[in-house]
Structure formats: C-alpha cells, structure tokens
Amino acid sequence: MGLSLAYELAGRGMSVTVIDAGLPGRATDAGAGILSPATNADPDIYWWETAKRAGAHYPDLLGRLAADGVDTSPSGYATCGLLSVGLRAHEDDWFQPFADVVTSRSGDVVREISPHAARALFPPLGNIHRALHNPAAARIDGRGMAAALMDAGIVRGVQFVSGQVSGVVEGGPSAGRTVQRVLVDGQEDVACGALAVAGGAWSAAMGEWLGAPLPITPTKGQIVHLGVSGESGSWPIVSPLLTHYLVPWPDGRIACGGTFEVGAGFDATVTAAGVHELLRECLTVAPGLAGAEYLHTRVGLRPSSSDDRPLVGVVPGWENVWVVTGHGANGLLLGPYSSKVLAQGIAAQDRTLGDPAFAAAYDPGRFN
C-alpha cells in the first residue's frame, strides 16, 4: 500500500518520503497474490465492482513501471486462470449459490467444467465433485511487486527512511488540525505537508497517537511453499470453496495457504499446527503433490478492519492526514488501486478522492 501510494503521488509531481519500520510479518511479503475478481461472490455489488476495477488496474500499473525503466518480471504477474472447486457432493448447498452468483456476474467468462477437465488443467488435483473455471484470473508475487514499486519510486525521486514512527507534531496555519512533522525513533523528524498512514496490521497504533479510531487488527496467515519438478507455470490457481487454495508459479513452486488465525496478535512465527493444517488440506485437494519438496513457510499479518472493509480517505479530525489500510486478505488485489484513488485525493486535496462513491464506501470516519 505504502509503496503504491508513494509511486502514485510521485507521478503526480509530489515530493514523497516513505517511513518504514520493516517489521516482520508484513502481509505483502507472504500473500498468495490471487487476482480473481470474477469469482468474488460477495453480495455487496459495489465491493465486487471495486474488485473488478482493482484487477483491471494491474496491467496499467505494470505498464507504467516498465515505461519508467523498471524490470517488472519479479512481480510474476500472469493470467493463469483459476478453478473454484467443490470437493464432495455434500458441498452443493454452498457451491450452487456461489456458482449462480459468479456465473451470472461474469458474462460467460466463468463456466462450469467437468472434474476430468479440471484435472487436465491441474494434474495433481484429486477427486472433486464440481469445478468452475475462470480463465481470466491472474497472480502477482507480493515481494516482487513491492520491489518493482520501490525501484520505480526511486526513479521518480521518492526518499526512504528506515525507522518506526512514534508520533506527530501539530502546527501550520490551517484552522484545523494539521501534521507538521513526523517523529521517527532514532532518526530526525520528517517535515511534511500531508501524512498518509499505510500501516497495514499496525495501523491501529498510529490511530492512537492521532487520536482517531483505526480499528485494524492482525489476522495471522501461514502459507507453505512446495517445490515440484517440471513446469507448473501453466497450471491454474485452485481455490476450493471450503478449504485452502493452491497457487502455482513457473519455477516449480506451489503456494498452499493460508491459515486464518484470529487472535494471534503480532506473532509472525511458523507453527507446527499451522504447517500440519496446510499440508493436510493441500494433500486432500491435490494428493498428486505428496512427493513435492517442502521449501519454506511464509507468515503474513493481514490488516483486518472491524467491518471487513478497507479504510481509505481522510483521518477524522485532521486536515492533512490520510489513511489506506484494512484490506484484509484482499490487499494484493485491492491495494494498488486503493492507493491510486487516494493519491488523486491527496494531490487535489479533495476529500471525495475524485470518486465520491468510493470515498463514501470506505470512509475512515464511519467508525467515529
């Protein structure tokens, strides 16, 4: 979120400094990177429309990064397709309503295919009951995308400060509350005309020193990565309706995730229980991966809001403080687009963000 926002602001001619504590457990470093708005069955139509715009934003963003001379290949972005699967007949009570919503929204893009056809697309797949195929789904590597955004930010003059923010200093001629400087532990203060909070799972602490509620809590997710011989880049993502997903990558790597650990706090350690859960479910869905090599486990702390919707806009009570956070498990899909919309608002000092419907839907002030 922070790197996307910095890049968008710098592209609008603003002087930008990113302050980053580099804390372990950042969700971007571990996220699966599934980009499949067409298989989002959320009943909130506007949320679904936002997801569609976010997915369509990626090719444009990557094109701009490439035009800035940045190597975008580490982002791993590719259209690979996705299989939404029901494993057993008793899942039809969940699968059929999901299929009805997804196929009706997709305009014939998402279609049901036979279990045999699904196994032909993803050879390690075991016996399944039903499958929907979304050929338009894509994937993104969060670490590689973040690195590309950082490189592009540097090209556009973004400055980076390593350290943890501990507070702000108010001041300035405005009649309202404004931030004049940001306090960074072990570093000089950073002067600013505007402050944007993109603190991920740690955003609530920033809300405390701003005196504004940012009700974000960490939801821990562990993701196992397995290695297979041969080419796996052409395989689609597998997303069972009631258990964990599988995301294949061209380097013979399969990501199996993710756990959903509410109440784990900021613990970013790999646990035996988490690895056991992931391998058990992975091999239930795809027993053909039984001979795969265990590579490693990644841990990310998803920034979850109290109503499961992002916070994007002006922080209540402040004239020049903005926030973009709370995207939960959808950060890699929604984050760059949210940052683009917020950048429009910051650059124009426009609280409607140039998109009043978006600003109203994700207004941070809804928690006041």
The pLDDT value given to residue 230: 87
Separation CA 327–CA 303 (nearest Å) = 6
Q: 2-27+143-216+307-367 and 83-139+217-305: same fold?
A: no
* φ, ψ dihedrals at 347, nearest 5°: -60, -35
Residues 6+ apart with CB under 8 A from 299: 24, 25, 30, 220, 221, 222, 223, 268, 269, 270
Element spanning 305, H or E: strand 293-305
Q: What is the b/e burial string over 236-256, where b = at least 16 CB atoms within 10 angstroms of the residue's CB? A: bbbbbbeebbbbbbeebbbbb
Per-residue tens of pLDDT for the chain, all 368 residues: 999 999 999 999 999 999 999 999 999 999 999 999 999 999 999 999 999 999 999 999 999 999 999 999 999 999 999 999 999 999 999 999 999 999 999 998 999 999 999 999 999 999 999 999 999 999 999 999 999 999 999 999 999 999 999 999 998 666 679 999 999 999 999 999 999 999 999 999 999 989 999 999 999 999 999 999 988 999 999 999 999 999 999 989 999 999 999 999 999 999 999 999 999 999 999 999 999 999 999 999 999 999 999 999 999 999 999 999 999 999 999 999 999 999 999 999 999 999 999 999 999 999 98
Q: Would you state the structure tokens that stand for residue 325, as one six-digit string?
A: 């956070």
Which CATH number applies to 83-139+217-305?
3.30.9.10
What is 2-27+143-216+307-367's CATH topology? Answer: FAD/NAD(P)-binding domain (3.50.50)
The domain ranges of the chain are 2-27+143-216+307-367, 83-139+217-305
pTM of the predicted structure, to 2 decimals = 0.96
The pLDDT value given to residue 175: 65
Q: What is the end-to-end Cα distance of the chain in Å, rounded?
A: 23
Closest CA to 299 of 280, 275, 283: 275
